[in-house]
């Protein structure tokens, strides 16, 4: 298992894919705009082998965003650009 999470299609237009690192089954996903305003929050269950989450971001304005992925054991911060 990878300890580090990844995101892809960056820059993104409609759908952002997150691959959650670690082994924890629950992950809290928060998305912030570049000013630090939280614009999305949801908890997900990820499987042992399918640790992917799809986020629909088509409604977001173009710009830079920050994703926080939090499990019981780790907090990661990733950045993406919405076109």
Residue 1 scores a pLDDT above 60: no
Residue 65, pLDDT > 80, answer: yes
Measured in residues, the chain has a length of 83
pLDDT value of position 2? 63
Q: What is the pLDDT of residue 31?
A: 98
Q: Which of 32, 38, 41 is nearest to 66 (CA)?
A: 32
CA distance 55 to 31: 10
Beta-carbon contacts of 49 under 8 Å, excluding residues fewer than 6 positions away, are none
**Entry pTM:** 0.92
The per-residue pLDDT for 49 is 85
Whether the CB-CB separation of 31 and 56 falls below 8 Å is answered with no
């Amino acid at each position: 298992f990878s300890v580090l999470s990844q995101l892809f299609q960056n820059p993104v237009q409609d759908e952002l894919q997150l691959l959650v690192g670690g082994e924890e089954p629950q992950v809290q996903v928060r998305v912030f705009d570049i000013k630090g305003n939280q614009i999305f929050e949801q908890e997900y269950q990820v499987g042992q082998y399918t640790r992917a989450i799809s986020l629909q971001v088509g409604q977001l304005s173009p710009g830079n965003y920050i994703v926080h992925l939090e499990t019981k054991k780790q907090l990661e911060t990733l950045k993406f650009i919405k076109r």
